[in-house]
Structure 1
Amino acid sequence: MTRTERIAPRRPYTAPPQGGHYQYVLLAVLFATFGFVFFDRLALNYLAPYWMPELGLDHTALGLLGGIPSLTWAISGLLLGVVSDRIDRRKPLIIVCTIGFSVFSALSGFVGGLASLLLLRGIMGMFEGGVLPLSQTLMMFSSSEKRRGLNMGLLQGSSAGLIGGIAGPIVTVAMAEAWGWRSAFFFTIVPGLLMSLLVLLFVRELRLRGGGAGAGAAGMLPPTSAIPVAERPVTFAQALRSRNILLCMFIAVFFITWFVTTQTFTPSYLAETRPDWSGGEVAFALTGIGVGWVLWGAVVPAFSDRFGRKLAIIVFALVAALAPVLIMRITSPGLLFVAMALSYTGMGCFTLFMATIPAETVAPHVMASCLGLIMGVGEIGGGFVAPWIGGMIADAFGLDATFWMCTGAALVVVVLALFLRETSPIAARRHGVAVDGAPRS
């Protein structure tokens, strides 16, 4: 025992509670934190009609800039997922990530060209990438079984939609119109620093390797799932051979292609093809995406709790395939707002293949690593490579061709989802399938 430990003995670790009041506190803090991750990430897209002419950049550059955070997200998501599993700590990493992405998002307001913008957005993505796998691991173990999918969906889907998809275009476009596009980037540091303080004060540390009340010698009990505990991979190498993990990685590539490429080019597409629309009308139409994001971010995971994760992805990916087509065909701001709100169902699926299904498939102590891996592979293929290719396609054949690429990507997801193994415990019980894992709460 060290001298410090003799003076101030270490407090015994107590695991955060499952269900009850704490799950709502945790959801509120992580909801806001991840929401501002997307506020910062999507600000570049919403402000594209302002900074592209000033910096003299084309669609290929826009696609590259939209994709570079995805590349660095991928790297940091996987690395921090593995690190958190190794050191068995999550809260301090979330705080560091939140401070970091806020600072580098704000620094984007000082850029003078493509190189500096690429550098700053890339570093910002390095800090952002760890927030989701770490947050979803916390949310998974503190949610009651009946709210697991819903809580994780609100955290990942609805938060990004409300703060990044609805507030994002309204606030950033208004600030760009009033004080210039750089002011919107400067603003992003304020909410990020506030969120890091809330995490520090209200989020409790989660350790999965033992020491918590009721955890036993092996650590936290695995969550309930239709997959028996004995069949869940217990090492990262075993997880890489799991059918669900492999399918979720491929689904991530194509669904993130649908999302990031559509999201990157829609503001520019509307500005170029709807010259009679004002900046306010474009922003209003774009908030329809945010409304759909919020709505389906809650509805799809809740649907999956009752009727199955697999069915939810198949049904709502089919609907999501319509969104790029509607963007090309609808010429009224009001109608486009409604169409986006009703067809942007894909954002509710993200929680399922990036968090809930893998978390219900593998052992707890490799969970964050697997979540980081799926997010990382998806962000590289769908978030970095796809929008870059989409930009080159747009410059060569027009933006319509890029949007057709997005529709095709969503249809590939439908096919891949057919081969998933169901994990929802509630859906399994409804079909008379045995469920294994921790007791229900």
Structure 2
Amino acid sequence: MPRAPFNTYENRLLLLLFFTVGFVFFDRLSINFLFPFMRAEFELTNSRIGMLTSALALTWAVSGYFLATWAERLKRRKPMLVVAVVVFSVCSIGSGLAGSFLMLLAARAVMGLAEGPVLPISQSLMGYASSDSRRGFNMGFIQASAGGLLGAVLAPMVVVPLATEYGWRVTFFVAGIPGLIIALFLARYLVEPRQFAPRAEAGLVHAERLSFMGMVRQRNIGLCLVISCLLITWFVALMTFTPIYLMETRGFSPGEMGLLMTILGISSVISGFVVPAISDRIGRRPTMVFFAAVAVAVPLVLVYAQVSLPALGALLFVTYFGYGCFPLFLATIPAETVGIAHAGRAIGLVIGVGEVAGGFIAPTIEGYAADHFGAQAPFLIASGAAVVAALLAFALKETAPGRLDRKQASAAGVGDSLGA
């Protein structure tokens, strides 16, 4: 059987969107590693840290749905994506110019407006270009693996040493540069989906017009909305409060904190394509159930595992594989439920609602809980949210094309046997 050529548009787009989405998370998550360096200057209480995280999440949520929907309806995904990447890169640089907490808060809010449509538009573009057998892998690779490698692995490796040597302001300036370069590549090489839409839509049964309420009434969409709220609560709590918790409560040095955060990032890179690839084979539903359950353990390890640094790193690496289910409920399952033609809207809605609840409301509550009930409170909240998400995943309808094809083939075989 001849091997498929590597130099296809699907693979080129996969690589380009990998870096696009990756640098979104690099810029978004960099501030979490800089909080210890900014704390004195801006008098950052845990509540204020939660507010900074919440402001970006709220604007991300609003723009993610509305701008992705607008770009989808007008078939102008490419220009929207290019402009969004330029603006969020400039906002990262602007964060380094902030002279007060309110200025910093405003810069993060505007950054959220720009970053919001990047992920749903990118996933919509990837959905159009993906073959059925690789859709889960591709969507996971550009979301979880990219966010993990650039946002969780590269970010602490670059941000912490830069802030230590040159200060947090210079670090923000540096963080904004890669996005400007990526925007040039997007403008040059990205193809608007309408140029290859007939191939992408072949065989889909959901390509008809779909109202907002019609989309929300789909059982998978409703479940993904709730799961998104819960697991984004889990994720944002870990990314926001772990660096400070490791240094101030667990007593690790900045270098040790950076190492542990890098380990989380490496785990997310690997799980980001391994877990969706597993779902391409065994189905979305069982994969979601198992790995959401694995996610429950991460906050508990951080709080209760009083072990050596290497042992703690190993435990975090294994349990953080739960992060690999994120592309499934945020992108793949919604896209396969409503059809690729409506994927941007569905993905934007699921991410947006999750960002409001898990990224906007939850961090403020978690920060308040940390200030009043102890530094471990955000992690206990995160673990509880993951428990509920794992239970809800049992109710998902299967959408993986390979799994559905096997079911149909099996049913047809049974029918033929009965008719013989």
Task: Report the TM range for the smaller structure's normalisation.
Answer: over 0.9
Output one character per residue of 1:71-120: Cα deviation in whole Å (capped at 9) or x when no partner: 11100101112101220121111100000000001111111222111100
Query: How many angstroms apart in 2 are the aligned matches of 1:344 and 1:430?
Result: 31
Change (3 A) 1:19 1:415: farther
Change (3 A) 1:427 1:175: same
**Selected match of 1:80 from 36, 60, 67:** 67
Output one character per residue of 1:339-370: Cα deviation in whole Å (capped at 9) or x when no partner: 22211123211111111111111144322111
**Equivalent residues in 2 for 1:185-200 (5 A)?**
185-200=172-187
Check whether the contact 1:141–1:223 (CA below 8 A) recurs between aligned residues.
Answer: no
- Is 1:41 matched up with 2:28? yes
2:245 is paired with a residue of what secondary structure? helix
- Is 1:359 matched up with 2:339? no
1:47 is paired with a residue of what secondary structure? helix
- Is 1:162 matched up with 2:149? yes
**Selected match of 1:109 from 96, 103, 116:** 96
More helix by share: 2
Match of 2:8 in 1: 21
Match of 1:7 in 2: none
Query: How many angstroms apart in 1 are the aligned matches of 2:244 and 2:228?
Result: 25
Letter in 2 for 1:38: F
Query: How many angstroms apart in 1 are the aligned matches of 2:112 and 2:88?
Result: 7
Check whether the contact 1:19–1:144 (CA below 8 A) recurs between aligned residues.
Answer: no
Change (3 A) 1:232 1:299: farther
Match of 1:372 in 2: 348
Query: How many angstroms apart in 2 are the aligned matches of 1:335 and 1:432?
Result: 46
Match of 2:49 in 1: 62
Letter in 1 for 2:319: S
Check whether the contact 1:234–1:363 (CA below 8 A) recurs between aligned residues.
Answer: no
**Selected match of 1:308 from 267, 283, 301:** 283
Change (3 A) 1:135 1:183: same
Query: How many angstroms apart in 2 are the aligned matches of 1:32 and 1:119?
Result: 26
Output one character per residue of 1:110-150: Cα deviation in whole Å (capped at 9) or x when no partner: 11222111100000011001000000011011111211110
Match of 1:286 in 2: 261
1:431 is paired with a residue of what secondary structure? helix
Letter in 2 for 1:413: A
The TM-score with structure 1 as length reference comes to 0.88
**Selected match of 2:370 from 394, 402, 407:** 394
Change (3 A) 1:405 1:214: closer
Check whether the contact 1:233–1:239 (CA below 8 A) recurs between aligned residues.
Answer: no
TM-superposed CA distance for 1:170, in Å, is 1.1
Check whether the contact 1:236–1:370 (CA below 8 A) recurs between aligned residues.
Answer: no
**Selected match of 1:151 from 126, 138, 152:** 138
Change (3 A) 1:131 1:281: same
The TM-score with structure 2 as length reference comes to 0.93
TM-superposed CA distance for 1:263, in Å, is 1.0
Check whether the contact 2:249–2:375 (CA below 8 A) recurs between aligned residues.
Answer: no
TM-superposed CA distance for 1:190, in Å, is 1.1
Check whether the contact 1:233–1:363 (CA below 8 A) recurs between aligned residues.
Answer: no
1:57 is paired with a residue of what secondary structure? coil
Query: How many angstroms apart in 1 are the aligned matches of 2:60 and 2:8?
Result: 32
**Equivalent residues in 2 for 1:222-301 (5 A)?**
229=205, 234-275=210-251, 277-301=252-276
Check whether the contact 2:128–2:340 (CA below 8 A) recurs between aligned residues.
Answer: no
Higher mean C-alpha displacement, 249-258 vs 357-366: 357-366
Match of 1:91 in 2: 78
Letter in 2 for 1:155: I
- Runs of 5+ in structure 1 lacking a partner? 1-17, 436-441
Query: How many angstroms apart in 1 are the aligned matches of 2:130 and 2:207?
Result: 23
Query: How many angstroms apart in 1 are the aligned matches of 2:271 and 2:206?
Result: 33
Query: How many angstroms apart in 1 are the aligned matches of 2:88 and 2:61?
Result: 15
